[in-house]
Amino acid sequence: MTSEKFNTVAEEQLAYCARLLGVKNTEYHGEDDRLHTFKSAAVMEGTTPKQALAGMMAKHTISIYDMCKEGEYPAEKWTEKITDHINYLLLLKAMIIEEEENAKL
């Protein structure tokens, strides 16, 4: 794959991730906090928000591994799984930044 084609693929994927995060925000946000789901899960599980996120992300990681081992899937299925995984990592990044900012208070 050429660098130009790769850059196009990456740009399109990241734009799709951003759109999906916007859609999911209306479904999952709580009290105007994008990380509400993970914080609530952490309280329920007696763990940290990062650990709650990691647990939820593990399902997606396993699914991607299984897909890689098992064979052929339609492009839409790959896009769904890859997008979910990228978005979990972006949410983790936001969580880390929020923790750093709160530590400074």
**Cα separation, 51 vs 42, whole angstroms:** 7
**Contacts (Cβ under 8 Å, ≥6 apart) of 5:** none
Task: Give the other-Cβ count within 10 Å of 33's Cβ.
Answer: 12
Give the pLDDT of the chain (105 residues) as one tens digit per residue. 999 999 999 999 999 999 999 887 777 665 688 899 999 999 999 999 999 999 999 999 999 999 999 888 999 999 999 999 999 999 999 999 999 999 988
75-103 helix and 49-70 helix, angle to the nearest 10 degrees: 160
3-28 helix and 75-103 helix, angle to the nearest 10 degrees: 70
**What does the block give as tokens for 23?**
């859609």
- pLDDT tens digits, 7-22: 999 999 999 999 999 8
**Cα separation, 92 vs 44, whole angstroms:** 19
